[in-house]
Amino acid sequence: MGKQIKVALIGNPNTGKTSVFNALTGLNQKVGNYPGITVDKKEGICKLSRGVKAHILDLPGTYSLNASSIDENVVIELLLNQKDKDFPDVAVVVADVENLKRNLLLFTQIKDLKIPTILAVNMSDVMVRKGIALDIAELETQLNTKIALVSTRKGTGLRELKNLIEGYKTLPKKQCIDARSIDVDYFERLEKAFPNQEVYKLWLVVTQDVNFGKLARKELDVSKFQTKSISELKRLQQKEAIKRYQFINGVLKKSQVIDRSKAKDLRIKLDRILTHKVWGYVIFLAILMTIFQAIYDWASFPMDLIDTSFASLAEWVKNSFPNGGMLTELLAEGVVSGIGGVVIFIPQIAFLFMFISILEESGYMSRVVFLMDRIMRGFGISGKSVVPLISGTACAIPAVMATRNIENWKERLITILVVPFTTCAARLPVYLIIIALIIPEGTFLGFSYQALTLMSLYLIGFGMAIFSAYILDRVLKKERKSFFVVEMPNYKLPLLKNVLITVIEKTKTFVLEAGKIILAISIILWVMASFGPGEKFNNAESIITQNNIDIPKGELDDKIAAYRLEHSYIGIVGKTIEPVIRPLGYDWKIGIGLVASFAAREVFVGTLATIYSVGSASEGENIDTIKSKMANERYSDGRKVFTLASGISLLLFYAFAMQCMSTLAIVKRETKSWKWPMVQLVGMSIIAYIFALIAFQILN
């Protein structure tokens, strides 16, 4: 096994840190959580020279080592704990060439911890256009480091950065400022109390305890060193920031020249339009509508291909494996049908992630956050809540975690409780299949009825989220509002590589995570549907044959299979809950789907695909696709199960119901109580039931 260098990739938000990470690691990356904490942990492998690799950890964005949020605190906790398995051999601080002064504050703090530190100045390709000139040699001398000028867009500077990482042992460790100068007397006492520790490290430990209460320190306990009040320590932090900026100003005065006459005002003109109090919303809605239309138009062909392919695969399994064997039925009716119920939606989910990635990469998403703050404030939450609500369109779990940047606890709690109303990718398979069944083809103002319906469901979910926030704001008697500050990054053409990596990684995660659950549930459902108690299940063939002597064999087989399913274990579960859901327009089979989808919403389609496969004995040249099976499903009196009334009812139920155990688990972890996830589960279920009931009764 070759040598591996541990690298921490650190930087302010919006400096292009993710682009540098993607450029170095490509698809050799994975996403997990930090031990004991639900904050994303991205890590990847980068090949350097022969036999040498870099293990790169992409840390959450932070403006300084004076953390103001829990995810920022992850950075400090790692850099202060040399016993941590991820403690870096070298830190790479990514700085935006246009905001070098602000970015260097973080750089000088990390440098003063005496960790070998490299400065990667990103977006170097815009220097000439922005009128920026850097004397790299002078800058390296002043900062006592090595610098790589990087452009991920043009792919320049990456080789140099890799060489610097590999030669990290030669990097100077001299500090940028002497921390003792902040308060000589205080720091002398601190050094005497802990004589074997770096003084700046001690200072950070003291101040982080001030910011976050008593933190568990594995290496160093400074809780007994209380020689200054919190307000005095805060003033010293401010004094430190002033001293650092004085140092940075001196450095940049010697090494940086900016010609303001070359700076273009295109960004200002675009911001005036995109954040306009009227046109900003019109443009945002138009973009959303275009995205949903494209999701339907572009994905229709690959979806149909996947749908028919899985139907053919199920037919091939039945024809190729031992006839009538239990394993054959399990594979064809359980595994293939269940997995096919999710794989069919890969094209649309991939397109959704692609569009979200493009909006984030271009810098437009920050404008949306700013724009929506105007609406949020009227409903009792700030624009900070928009970030979780928008990220909830991908998945509620990271959206709940994203509330960690909200300092006000009540405001954060409200956001956590309402985030699951936002339409996530897991709801998409349910929406898409139901919309395809009940909404006719056709267009309005150039947009299809189906795309308009999908967009309406997204807007309904978002509307319910902010309305619920308004109610909770009054009920919980929230504390004072927090201020909303958002950074507007420069507009950029999205990097194709970044977009592709995002789409591949997120789609893969979605499919693998959903696939594991669906495979397990499909097998369980097949077993429960293939076996049952009592005479009615065991003697289904003789019971049905006696009453249907003169019908064709194919129809008779279907009736036997349907009767057996109805009296199987899964049929008993469905029949038990049917009286509760019948007023919503659902039969017992849909009820099974509702129960199964508490594991994950997207399981609903796979569940119905499995149930309908087991409930039909038809064989021959064509095995029905998932959509046609659902479209042909009927009650005993011949009425269709999936009508406009039952379909709209089902869409509204899934728009509002908390059908996700994983989200409940994360909410419990974030709130440290089962009270709030239970409030969430019961409250959202009641809302979903009421809206679904009203919709069905009116439309029916």
* pTM value surpassing 0.75: no
Is the same domain home to 78 and 138?
A: yes
pLDDT over 70 (residue 579): yes
Q: Which residue has the higher pLDDT, 575 or 403?
A: 575
Q: What is the pLDDT at residue 210?
A: 46
> How far is C-alpha 688 from the geometric centre of its chain's CA atoms?
24
Domain closes at, from 240, 262, 284: 262
pLDDT (tens digit, 9 = 90+) per residue, 195-218? Answer: 777 888 888 888 775 444 444 454
Q: Do 131 and 15 reside in the same domain of the chain? A: yes
Per-residue pLDDT at 33? 42
Q: With beta carbons less than 8 A apart as the criterion, state whether 342 and 514 touch.
A: yes
Dist. CA 28–CA 21, nearest whole Å: 10
**Is residue 234 a part of any domain in this protein?**
yes
Identify the band that residue 30 occupies on the pLDDT scale cut at 50, 70 and 90: low
| 356 domain-assigned | no
Burial letters for 377-388: b for 16+ Cβ neighbours within 10 Å, e otherwise?
Answer: eebbbbbbbbbb
Task: Judge whether 24 lies within some domain.
Answer: yes
Number of other residues whose CB lies within 10 A of the CB of residue 496:
11
What CATH number is given to the structural domain containing 51?
Answer: 3.40.50.300
Give the per-residue pLDDT at 683. Answer: 92
Query: Are 26 and 125 in the same domain?
Result: yes
| Cα 681 from Cα 664, distance rounded (Å) | 8
Q: How many other C-beta atoms are found inside a 10 Å radius of the C-beta of residue 49?
A: 11
What pLDDT, on the 0 to 100 scale, is given for residue 215? 45
Of 15-19, 55-59, 178-182, 294-298, give the lowest mean pLDDT range: 294-298
Which of 122, 146, 170 is the C-terminal boundary of a domain? 170
Whether residue 192 is found in the same domain as residue 161: no
Q: Does residue 60 lie in a domain region? A: yes
Give 617-648 pLDDT, tens digit per residue.
444 333 456 677 777 777 777 788 888 999 99
Do 14 and 158 lie in a common domain?
A: yes
Domain that holds residue 20: 3-170
Q: For 146-154, what is the mean pLDDT?
A: 89
Decide if 313 is inside a domain.
no
155 with 207, same domain: the answer is no
Based on the fold, state whether residues 27 and 126 are members of the same structural domain: yes
Answer yes or no: is 683 within a domain: no
pLDDT tens for each residue of 418-456: 988 988 877 877 888 888 888 888 888 777 888 889 889
Q: What is the 3-state secondary structure (H, E, C) of 367-404?
A: HHHHHHHHHHHCCCCCHHHHHHHHHCCCCHHHHHHHHH
DSSP three-state, residue 156: strand
Burial of residue 516, with CB atoms counted within 10 A of its CB: 0-12 exposed, 13-18 middle, 19 or more buried:
exposed
Number of domains the chain contains: 2
Q: What's the average model confidence in pLDDT over 477-493?
A: 64
* 536 or 115, higher pLDDT: 115
For 194: left if phi > 0, alpha if psi spans -120 to 50, otherwise beta; the answer is: beta
Distance CA 597, CA 382 (A): 32
Q: Residue 390 corresponds to which tokens in the numbers above?
A: 């928008």
Q: Are residues 68 and 191 in the same domain?
A: no
Of 170, 196, 211, the last residue of a domain is 170
> Are 162 and 191 members of one domain?
no
Same domain, 52 and 114: yes
Amino acid at 522: S
143 assigned to some structural domain: yes
Mean pLDDT score of the chain: 79
Mean per-residue pLDDT, 331-347: 73
CB-neighbour burial class of residue 425 (10 A; exposed 0-12, middle 13-18, buried 19+) = buried
What's the pLDDT tens digit per position in 69-85? 666 778 888 888 888 88
Whether 530 is in a domain gets the answer no
pLDDT, residue 498, reads: 81
Same domain, 186 and 59: no
Residue-level pLDDT at 99: 85
Give yes or no: residues 139 and 206 share one domain.
Answer: no
